[in-house]
């Protein structure tokens, strides 16, 4: 017989290898899923992972979209990873993403139709503050009343979605939109448009902030005392308390950072690719970023690479729907497989397979 035996210390090999193995297993079982749906599995996997980058008819459009899709995923995942390292589980980044978009858009629309250069920076600040305030609700409830931040942050997503629907058809509705829900289009307002910095590259300010967040998180976690306190809190809470680390401060800091980054991601999305506040503005980036954070091993550099990979599945998934006729739900299931297999293979980081002798069994 065989059993799982706890390792004396986590395996570095499995810690590095499990994300790659999870991607391979996702391709294999994803291919079986597409075959079950009547599509050629090899063609489906090629369409998702190869065609967006190298197909002569699609690459010119898809390559810039890689950065557009990866930007918000990386920005949100960096914030989540900081909290996850401290054992603080913010599952409601989607709600903070929505509230950041609403607050940032509202701050800009208050000055419409001004073309001041200060409007967009103001919107960025307002977006970050919107996400931060929304994240402070589970933070304060946890520190004052001991509530579970997982449940509170998750439930607040649905509150944020209802606020989004209300704003789209109420306070932020375009007065020139003939009664249709949705705000003014920021793409038609230069002062508030998050346009490409370099035409045809997909590089906008949201992508720039994502790269800055990667660098900032790497420096903080590896070079700053606060990063050490965050890691210590997650790995040895009792030792952290003996060392004088305040659990309350860590909770507020980590949830605040993740909320602010998610809020800014929402602002960059609404002023860029999405273009306006609408009922269906939220696209699930806040939930997908959880997969990105774990696929990147909660490491800023790993998250950068994982964000690009997950963005590739978004773009490739859209191509697969268009070219092969596979349903959109199958692409979401394909992305979910990635997290499932990552968690499954990650078991071997802390456990190893051992044989059980007949004597031990008896």
Task: Tell me how far apart the 2 most distant CA atoms of the chain are, in Å.
Answer: 81
Look at residue 271 and tell me if it is in a domain.
Answer: yes
Q: What is the pLDDT of residue 343?
A: 87
Cβ of 352: how many Cβ atoms within 10 Å? Answer: 14
pLDDT at 141 over 90: yes
Look at residue 11 and tell me if it is in a domain.
Answer: no
Q: What is the pLDDT of residue 8?
A: 86
Look at residue 57 and tell me if it is in a domain.
Answer: yes
Look at residue 2 and tell me if it is in a domain.
Answer: no
Look at residue 93 and tell me if it is in a domain.
Answer: yes
Tell me the mean pLDDT in the region 117-134. Answer: 97
Look at residue 29 and tell me if it is in a domain.
Answer: no
Query: pLDDT category, 132, cuts 50, 70, 90?
Result: very high
Query: pLDDT category, 263, cuts 50, 70, 90?
Result: very high
Query: pLDDT category, 42, cuts 50, 70, 90?
Result: very high
Say what the pTM is.
0.93
Q: What is the pLDDT of residue 359?
A: 60
Look at residue 33 and tell me if it is in a domain.
Answer: no
Q: How many domains does the chain have?
A: 1
Interatomic CA distance for residues 263 and 95, integer angstroms: 9
pLDDT at 161 over 70: yes
Q: What is the pLDDT of residue 105?
A: 96
Interatomic CA distance for residues 63 and 10, integer angstroms: 37
Query: pLDDT category, 32, cuts 50, 70, 90?
Result: very high
In contact, 108 and 122? CB cutoff 8 Å? yes
Structure tokens at 189: 């307002």
The CATH number of residue 145's host domain is: 1.10.3470
Give me the helix-helix angle, 247-270 and 119-145, nearest 10°: 150
Q: What is the pLDDT of residue 14?
A: 87
Interatomic CA distance for residues 34 and 331, integer angstroms: 9
Q: In percent, how much of the chain has pLDDT > 70?
A: 98
Q: What is the pLDDT of residue 100?
A: 97
Interatomic CA distance for residues 142 and 168, integer angstroms: 31
**Residue 241 belongs to domain spanning:** 40-325
Structure tokens at 85: 């390292």
Look at residue 149 and tell me if it is in a domain.
Answer: yes
| Segments in 110-148 forming alpha helices (H) | 119-145
């Amino acid at each position: 017989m065989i059993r799982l035996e706890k390792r004396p210390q986590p395996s570095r090999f499995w810690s590095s290898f499990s994300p790659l193995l999870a991607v391979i297993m996702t391709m294999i079982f994803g291919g079986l899923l597409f075959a079950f749906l009547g599509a050629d599995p090899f063609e489906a996997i090629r369409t998702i992972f190869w065609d967006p980058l190298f197909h002569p008819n699609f690459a010119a459009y898809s390559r810039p979209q890689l950065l557009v899709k990866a930007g918000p995923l990386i920005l949100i995942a960096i914030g989540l990873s900081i909290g996850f390292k401290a054992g603080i589980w913010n599952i409601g980044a989607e709600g903070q993403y929505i509230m950041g978009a609403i607050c940032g858009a509202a701050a800009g629309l208050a000055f419409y139709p001004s073309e001041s250069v200060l409007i967009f920076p103001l919107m960025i600040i307002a977006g970050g503050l919107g996400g931060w305030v929304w994240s402070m609700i589970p933070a304060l409830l946890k520190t004052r009343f001991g509530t579970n931040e997982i449940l509170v942050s998750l439930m607040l997503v649905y509150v944020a979605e209802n606020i989004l629907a209300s704003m789209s058809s109420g306070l932020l509705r375009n007065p020139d939109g003939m009664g249709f829900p949705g705000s003014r289009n920021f793409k038609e307002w230069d002062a508030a448009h998050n346009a490409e910095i370099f035409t045809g590259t997909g590089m906008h300010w949201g992508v720039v902030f994502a790269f800055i967040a990667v660098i900032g998180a790497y420096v903080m976690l590896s070079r700053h005392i606060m990063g050490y306190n965050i890691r210590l809190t997650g790995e040895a809470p009792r030792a952290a308390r003996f060392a004088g680390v305040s659990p309350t401060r860590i909770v507020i800091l980590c949830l605040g950072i993740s909320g602010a980054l998610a809020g800014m991601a929402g602002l960059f999305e609404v002023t860029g690719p999405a273009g306006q506040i609408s009922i269906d503005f939220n696209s699930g980036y806040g939930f997908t970023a959880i997969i990105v954070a774990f696929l990147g091993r909660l490491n800023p550099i790993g998250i950068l690479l994982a964000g690009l990979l997950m963005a590739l599945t978004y773009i490739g998934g859209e191509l697969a729907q268009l070219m092969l006729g596979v349903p959109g739900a199958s692409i979401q299931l394909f992305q979910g497989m990635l997290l499932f297999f990552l968690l499954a293979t990650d078991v071997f980081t802390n456990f190893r397979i051992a044989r059980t002798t007949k004597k031990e069994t008896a």
